[in-house]
Structure 1
Amino acid sequence: MLRSALRLTAGLAAFFLTTMSAQAAGAGAPHLDGAELGIYWAIPFAGILLSIAVFPLVADRFWHHHFGKVSAFWALAFIVPFTVFYGWQLALFEALHVFFLEYLPFIILLFSLFTVAGGVRLRGKLQGTPAVNTLMLLIGTVIASWMGTTGAAMLLIRPVIRANEWRTHRVHVIVFFIFLVANIGGSLTPLGDPPLFLGFLKGVDFFWPTIHMLKPMAFVSVILLVVFYILDSYYYRKEGDLPEQSHENEPDGLKIEGGVNILFLAGIVAAVLLSGIWKPGIAFDLFHVHIEIQNVARDVLLLVIAGLSWKFTSLQSRMANGFSWFPIIEVGKLFSAIFITIIPAIAILKSGTAGALEPVISAVSADGEPVNYMYFWATGFLSSFLDNAPTYLVFFNTAGGDAGHLMGPLANTLLAVSAGAVFMGANTYIGNAPNFMVRSIAEERGISMPSFFGYMLWSGAILVPCFVAVTFLFF
């Protein structure tokens, strides 16, 4: 799989370099006017979401073997009628646009983080006590802003699962892991979560989230860690006299296997930063899709780093870590359909008050002034079910789109958009890609995770009250 991905990327890069003389960006490009789209165009998107929610409940075996076919069905359910009604040129442009500018960078970054983090094995006599579990969640929350929620989640999820293998009650550990490590922990830098990285590319200072997001992030994190410790202590007492996990082959203290991958993680961070800082002014068009060379360089570097990680990490260590390709394959197939079917939903949102979702857009302003608490909840609600990165951009632009103005007089509005996108990605399994990956890894290791709606009961009972408190305190 890795060799095929590398060969494909090398081929694409070579093809791109032969098209450098293509026409200027956007000249004659097809345009999708979201104001013309009825809300019914979002039915395939709703279909893939409902499939993710319902099939594991009613037809788990079928879903496990055929989720790729279901994903392809819903993607075709949008793209075929869209081609018939709007023509192949617009359909091809939208498909290529979402593939090259959104899906491909998204899945390559996840793939590289998954491969590299999966090569780091933390060994030691870790026992899943409330204190140890809370400490691991705290560490993951802290590092997520600096190595990304995906990197932190992939680094720590397997040690957390191993530490709790002996316990009967452990679902809540994974649920809170998703809340904190896979989402809220990524609040403080553009490296932490894709929406903040998009803000960085739009001109928001690198350390703006560090300064402004720190208080709400710390507030929510402390509440969740305290609630987790109390809940975990309750379940821990219910374990009774169950035998503890054997640590016969584990060293005293903590030992890191595959430590070279820490350097590779730093390389991933550097590659992502490179694409935001290095602006050589070289670009090309592929059927009107404007592709900048720094982004191609980033993606190629990420794949090279993943290849080096695979080469220099012991396969035995990966196997002992419970590493398999299934989680990233599942995410890749499901999100390919999500990215395709989300096209009309995002277009409708971008059309603002002229589109079918006009009530949502109108609700975030009153008499020409932003209503910050509505920005927080509108961005957050849509980020729970749509991809949080384009949702962030929609409301960033709705608030004016001028980074300097948003960091100044409208700083609280930018904070509301940022917090809504990052925090509320934790509300559902599909709110943020690491959520799905963590769930997949946990289920692969024998943990019976909540269904789509079952997980939302957890987030509704625990996260929503926290977000209500955030609203009153900060917005």
Structure 2
Amino acid sequence: MEVDAFHPSSNNYGDTMKSSRWAAVAALLFVWPGLAQAADFDGSQLSPLWGVPFAGLLLSIALMPLLVPAFWHHHFGKVSAAWILAFFIPFAAMFGPSLAGISLVHALVAEYIPFIILLTALFTVAGGIFIRGNLHGSPGLNAGLLLIGAVLASFMGTTGASMLMIRPLIRANDNRKHSTHIVVFFIFIVSNAGGSLTPLGDPPLFLGFLKGVDFFWTLKHIFPETLFLIGSLLVIFYLLDSWYYRKEGVQSVDPTPDTQRLGFDGAFNFGLLVAIAGLVLLSGFWKSPLVFDLFGTDVGLPGLVRDAGLIAIALLSLKLTAAKVHEDNQFSWGPMAEVAKLFAGIFLTIIPVIAMLKAGVSGPFGAVVSAVTQSDGQPDPAMYFWATGVLSSFLDNAPTYLVFFNTAGGDPQVLMTTLAPTLAAISAGAVFMGANTYIGNAPNLMVKAIAEDRGVKMPSFFGYVVWSGAVLIPLFILMTFIWFR
């Protein structure tokens, strides 16, 4: 990935940002007159063709870096904006600007903006911590760093743990000829599987927490699955990395004086990470009757306080972190810009897809909903695991979790007790299988962008799917027979 494609000071970055802003303005202009009126959105009345812009965006992410890499790296924001307009313009024309406007505002205000604010805060704060030390990328050290990242992920989020650990891991292996597999397994373990034990770990579990699932429920009910998956991945990684390490031979590294002793620069940012976790927890526990209506979307006071606090924390981190720490970390806004632009397209073009899924058996995707139900009408945990997982691999895993949470009845007390195996399957599928593709979970793309920024040759979209298919899918099959059948 070319650094100047994203750097805020480059012309390409400026052109892309201008294009994205104008696309957003255009979308708002044609829906603005009808924003004051409410409208219902019945996904059962939609044709599957409304999913074409979303599918087109996914294909663009998968194919354009392979076929036209220079164009993609400089104009991916414009491509994302084009697919957004390809959905909203016909949608507004056919169903009216009121419905289009309400859908746009809801997706932005209730989902995308809080999502990006949280990711930006974690990215900024974690980027202000530099782990210095004489780290040499041996198989044992690499496996240890992956394990530390996995433990941290459930308490500071997969994004926070990924942003904290990926830079020292890459730096420790900058003398290795083969480092692609290291980053791939990092995505498997730290950016996904590690976030499965608490609502702080991954957005789907946080949504479940907001719906009434107990904070420690997933820790109690999918800990064995998590231990199996992370343990298996660490063993496979250690064996593979040892093979590459022996093949490369021992390579000497001349440590500089600054890297003789392990330590942290910008360590105060750890306190800011704790503050981020506290704000997220507060927004879940705090119930306030004060709700603002923003063009049909309810905005609660706890969410506003959380988002304002996250923005303040990010700004505080930027102000207090020494420039040398950012320089040592090779911190840039490129990875965050890529995630923000591509996920804007994903969150907006996914609107009709989620509506069609929510329509249940009467909707265009009724076959998917029917597939997770046994002949006696009871939910099938194995099918819930795979249906949630497969869709989470290509859709955003947070709304996918909600779809199947509601498909299984939507009552948290029933799901945590009588239907506990079903909720465990939904939770595991959403979190674990987000690792199947680069777009399954936001940290995946961020880690890929940082690795490419550092010169690591990452697999293409399909190349990464080959890795996940060879490593993850067999483990998921074993988990199905052990826990979800």
If the length of structure 1 is used for normalisation, what is the TM-score?
0.93
Q: 1:245 deviation in Å?
A: 3.4
Counterpart of 1:63 in structure 2 is 72
Cα distance in structure 2, aligned partners of 1:372 and 1:425: 18
Q: Determine whether 1:305 maps to 2:298.
A: no
Q: Determine whether 1:206 maps to 2:179.
A: no
AA partner of residue 408 (structure 1): T
Q: 1:27 deviation in Å?
A: 11
Q: Determine whether 1:238 maps to 2:247.
A: yes
Cα distance in structure 2, aligned partners of 1:213 and 1:233: 30
CA 1:88–1:435: 2 relative to 1, 3 Å = same
SS in 1 for 2:115: helix
Q: Determine whether 1:340 maps to 2:342.
A: no
Cα distance in structure 1, aligned partners of 2:260 and 2:449: 30
AA partner of residue 313 (structure 2): I
Q: Determine whether 1:161 maps to 2:170.
A: yes
Quick check: 2:129–2:264 contact (8 Å CA) kept in 1?
yes
AA partner of residue 431 (structure 2): V
Counterpart of 2:455 in structure 1 is 446
Please give the per-residue CA displacement for 1:37-76, whole angstroms capped at 9, x wherever unaligned.
1111000001111111111111111111000110111000
Moved more, 182-191 or 279-288: 279-288
Cα distance in structure 1, aligned partners of 2:310 and 2:252: 40
Quick check: 1:165–1:245 contact (8 Å CA) kept in 2?
no
AA partner of residue 300 (structure 1): A
Please give the per-residue CA displacement for 1:60-111, whole angstroms capped at 9, x wherever unaligned.
1111100011011100000000010000000000000000000000000000
Cα distance in structure 2, aligned partners of 1:29 and 1:72: 26
Q: 1:28 deviation in Å?
A: 6.4
Counterpart of 1:415 in structure 2 is 424
AA partner of residue 284 (structure 2): G
Cα distance in structure 1, aligned partners of 2:437 and 2:368: 20
Of 340, 360, 363, the residue aligned with 1:352 is: 360
SS in 1 for 2:258: coil
Quick check: 1:173–1:232 contact (8 Å CA) kept in 2?
yes
Quick check: 1:427–1:459 contact (8 Å CA) kept in 2?
yes
Cα distance in structure 1, aligned partners of 2:194 and 2:69: 31
Cα distance in structure 2, aligned partners of 1:89 and 1:124: 57
Cα distance in structure 1, aligned partners of 2:418 and 2:187: 34
Superposition pairs of residues 382-421 of structure 1, within 5 angstroms: 382-421=391-430
Of 92, 108, 119, the residue aligned with 1:110 is: 119
Counterpart of 1:6 in structure 2 is none
Cα distance in structure 1, aligned partners of 2:453 and 2:355: 36
Counterpart of 2:191 in structure 1 is 182
Counterpart of 1:133 in structure 2 is 142
Q: 1:239 deviation in Å?
A: 1.1
Q: 1:319 deviation in Å?
A: 0.9
Please give the per-residue CA displacement for 1:299-318, whole angstroms capped at 9, x wherever unaligned.
00000000010111001111
SS in 2 for 1:85: helix
Q: 1:29 deviation in Å?
A: 2.6
AA partner of residue 329 (structure 1): A
Cα distance in structure 1, aligned partners of 2:127 and 2:76: 24
SS in 2 for 1:285: strand
Q: Determine whether 1:90 maps to 2:92.
A: no
SS in 2 for 1:365: coil
SS in 2 for 1:331: helix
If the length of structure 2 is used for normalisation, what is the TM-score?
0.92
Q: 1:291 deviation in Å?
A: 0.8
Please give the per-residue CA displacement for 1:90-139, whole angstroms capped at 9, x wherever unaligned.
00000000000000000000000000000000000000000000000000
Of all paired residues, the percent bearing the same amino acid is: 58
SS in 2 for 1:356: coil
Cα distance in structure 1, aligned partners of 2:444 and 2:412: 29
Of 346, 356, 365, the residue aligned with 2:373 is: 365
Counterpart of 1:54 in structure 2 is 63
SS in 1 for 2:257: coil
Superposition pairs of residues 312-331 of structure 1, within 5 angstroms: 312-331=320-339
Of 168, 192, 202, the residue aligned with 1:193 is: 202
SS in 1 for 2:137: coil
Of 249, 255, 260, the residue aligned with 1:247 is: 255
Q: Determine whether 1:224 maps to 2:221.
A: no
Query: What is the root-mean-square deviation of aligned Cα atoms in Å?
Result: 1.2
Quick check: 2:158–2:195 contact (8 Å CA) kept in 1?
yes
SS in 1 for 2:470: helix
Quick check: 2:125–2:317 contact (8 Å CA) kept in 1?
yes
Q: 1:270 deviation in Å?
A: 0.5
AA partner of residue 474 (structure 1): W
Q: 1:435 deviation in Å?
A: 0.2
Q: 1:213 deviation in Å?
A: 1.4
Q: Determine whether 1:434 maps to 2:443.
A: yes
Aligned pair count reads 450
Unaligned runs of 5+ in 1: 2-25
Counterpart of 1:280 in structure 2 is 288
Quick check: 1:114–1:151 contact (8 Å CA) kept in 2?
yes
SS in 2 for 1:256: strand
Cα distance in structure 1, aligned partners of 2:188 and 2:67: 26
SS in 1 for 2:319: helix
AA partner of residue 398 (structure 1): T
Q: 1:30 deviation in Å?
A: 1.0
Quick check: 2:36–2:295 contact (8 Å CA) kept in 1?
no
CA 1:245–1:281: 2 relative to 1, 3 Å = farther
Cα distance in structure 2, aligned partners of 1:291 and 1:257: 38
SS in 2 for 1:291: strand
Q: 1:248 deviation in Å?
A: 1.3
